[in-house]
Amino acid sequence: MNIFETQKVYDNFYLISERISPTMVCTMGLVIGDKTAALVDTGFGVTGSLRKHVETITDRPVICLITHCDPDHAGAAALFDTIYMSDLDDELQPWSLKVDKRISDVTLASHRNQELVGYMKTHMVLSEGIQHQNLHEGEEFDLGGVKLEAFPLPGHSKGSFCFLNREEGYALTGDSVAAVSYPMLLALRCTSLAVYAKALRHFYDATGEKMGLYSGHRMDPFPQGLVKDLLRGCDEIFSGDTENDRSARFPFDKVVADDLKPMEHLISDSNASIRYNAKRIY
């Protein structure tokens, strides 16, 4: 079963998706330099052939950069020899990388596609933990003729990072910048909305509106202006303009907790929305 789809964006930049359903993909960015290549995120690890697939695109040594340690972003990271991820997300590893957890999430995300789930059970990456080097703000990965900069954007997780190619004008954002019910700040492991908004403002000030933004779940960039919309949505929530907010469905996990009130805020004059924990705004 071939679940990988590859799209060439530039001569040295590819998007690879792990197709889970007609509407759900886990997207990875492959950036190729003269000396080294970097793979940003790794999907669920449905199959252990991801590294071989990458090697059909480039013969450069590959380092792995993880935006955050959710199962659909770090599931196949163990296939690679050199991995970078924030130490702040180590708290997620015992939960997110468990074999049973990843199978359960793929079952739900694929709408119980038994063919895919059965294939995963016999071909998946079995490692339930990864050894990695810590990421630092401003850390630069010189791949040879192309550079990626590590940029923290906590919110969806405490250790979420984006990776910027400033020269060519694009960023790989994982789940930190996204639209249509993203970013999700629902889980207890997420930061407050205020922490996310501060980090998002820092990101916007550093990148502006013209940088192409590629998330972990689509094969095309977001429309320009999305970050500005998300910032406006945060301000609307802070100002109490939430009378039309609705209860949000918590994806994958059924979590009941006294300090969790998942809500969705539809941002005015935008197609984007923010899912947040109404009991942890500040």
Nearest to 164 by CA among 274, 82, 65: 65
Burial of residue 170 (CB within 10 Å: 0-12, 13-18, 19+) is: buried
CATH assignment of 4-277?
A: 3.60.15.10
Per-residue pLDDT at 189:
86
Beta bridge partners of 8: 14
Helix (H, G, I), strand (E, B) or coil at 55: helix
Contact (Cβ atoms closer than 8 angstroms) between residue 254 and residue 187: no
Is the preceding peptide bond at 221 cis, omega within 30 degrees of 0? no
Per-residue pLDDT at 9:
96
Per-residue pLDDT at 86:
98
Which residues in 55-166 belong to E strands, given as ranges?
62-65, 83-84, 140-142, 147-152, 161-165
Per-residue pLDDT at 254:
57
Per-residue pLDDT of the chain (282 residues; tens, 9 = 90+): 889 999 999 999 999 999 999 999 999 999 999 999 999 999 999 999 999 999 999 999 999 999 999 999 999 999 999 999 999 999 999 999 999 999 999 999 999 999 999 999 999 999 999 999 999 999 999 999 999 999 999 999 999 999 999 999 999 999 998 755 555 788 888 999 999 999 999 999 999 888 999 999 999 999 889 999 999 999 999 999 999 999 987 666 555 566 788 899 999 998 889 999 999 999
Per-residue pLDDT at 53:
97
Contact (Cβ atoms closer than 8 angstroms) between residue 69 and residue 90: yes
As a residue count, the chain comes to: 282
Return all residues near 21 (Cβ < 8 A) that are at least 6 apart: 109, 110, 111, 113
pTM assigned to the model: 0.95
Per-residue pLDDT at 253:
56
